[in-house]
Amino acid sequence: MAPAVHLGSGKVRELYALDDERLLLVATDRISTFDVVLPTEIPDKGRVLTGLSAFWFARTRSICPNHLLAVRSDGRSTECRRLEMLPIECVVRGYLTGSGWKDYVATGSTSGHALPPGLVESQELPEPIFTPATKATTGHDENIDAETAVELVGADRFREVERIALALYRFASAHAHERGIIIADTKFEFGLDPDGVLVLADEALTPDSSRFWPMDGYRPGQAQPSFDKQFVRDYCESLGWDKTDPGPELPENVVAGTRERYIEAFALLTGIDFDAYLDNPEIVLR
């Protein structure tokens, strides 16, 4: 087998070409907060992201084909189809939080969706909404309205990704609900295969691409504690760090607490013991 060629490094993933048609995506244990990669890693975080993505890929094929070909035995490497990625991030929001909430407070709407007046922070929206964003090569992604997204991908493709992203969100959200987790919002990335067929790619429905909230403890009218990065965020805030590179080292208790929360999210959502995943990653595909 020809050696894999390193194509690049994202904040979290290393990208290799296996051949012209296939990529190897390796999810590292790097953690980013406020868009800065911290110097300290969270052991097994990359395995949690890989296992959860594979779990969802295996269950959403009837909604949309995806890029997954195989999960390797290390639990963090995914062989996948090499796609031409669409230049937008496909965000779906079921709850009003983050930049959606900020936009709503400022303008009464978010990404061109007029919303009812009087909504409070973290409130469930009447219907999930599709709020695409640009893929910023540096810095923060920016919310765009439908018109701008249509300019980037075309009207037909826009309608298709909107429909599919909403269907994926509704499916995952219902599954998570049964397991005591709210998926407040999530981001999908899609690509096109050589025939122009839309394919779900990247990671899907992980704590890094989504906001997961524990259902008990959900209190509209305030910010919700997130499932996973909350320890890290709280710690960083307590330092008065200015949120620019470089980020702070994390102490052991913050690392351990964060790792536990990632693993807890995995176990709750999949119903699979994380140790069983480590023994045999293909368990999430069944």
Ligand X SMILES: Nc1ncnc2c1ncn2[C@@H]1O[C@H](COP(=O)(O)OP(=O)(O)OP(=O)(O)O)[C@@H](O)[C@H]1O
Residue numbers at the binding site for ligand X (CB under 6 A): 10-13, 15, 23, 32, 67, 80-83, 85, 189, 191, 201-202
In the complex, the smallest distance separating the C-beta of residue 208 from ligand X, rounded to whole angstroms, is 7
**Cα–Cα–Cα angle for 59, 62, 63, rounded to 5 degrees:** 95
| Nearest residue to 206 via CA among 31, 40, 15, 79 | 31
- In the complex, minimum distance from the CB of residue 23 to ligand X, in angstroms, rounded to a whole number: 5
Q: Are 45 and 31 in contact (CB under 8 A)?
A: yes
Question: Which residue, 12 or 168, has its beta carbon nearer to ligand X?
Answer: 12
Q: Which helix (H) or strand (E) holds 282?
A: none
Q: Please give the residue whose beta carbon sits closest to ligand X in the complex.
A: 10
**Identity of the residue, 209 or 270, whose beta carbon is nearer to ligand X in the bound complex:** 209
How many of the other CB atoms lie within 10 Å of CB of 35?
A: 15
- The least CB distance from residue 127 to ligand X, in Å, is 27
Per the listing, tokens 């397991």 go with: 179
Q: Which is nearer to ligand X, 41 or 124 (CB)?
A: 41
- Work out how close the CB of 36 gets to ligand X at its nearest, in angstroms, rounded to a whole number: 10
Q: CA of 139: how far to CAs of 52, 91, 111, in Å? A: 26, 17, 19
Nearer to ligand X, 15 or 256 (CB): 15
State residue 218 phi and psi, 5-degree precision. Answer: -70, 120
CB of 172 to ligand X, least distance (A): 18
* Cis status of the peptide bond prior to 194, with omega within 30 of 0: no
Q: Determine phi and psi for 148, rounding to 5 degrees.
A: -70, -40
CA–CA separation, 200 vs 189, rounded Å? Answer: 6
Residue number, 12 or 96, with CB nearest to ligand X:
12
Query: Please, which residue, 188 or 274, has the CB nearer to ligand X?
Result: 188
Report the distance separating Cα 17 and Cα 189, nearest Å: 19
Residue 271 CB, shortest distance to ligand X, in Å, is 26
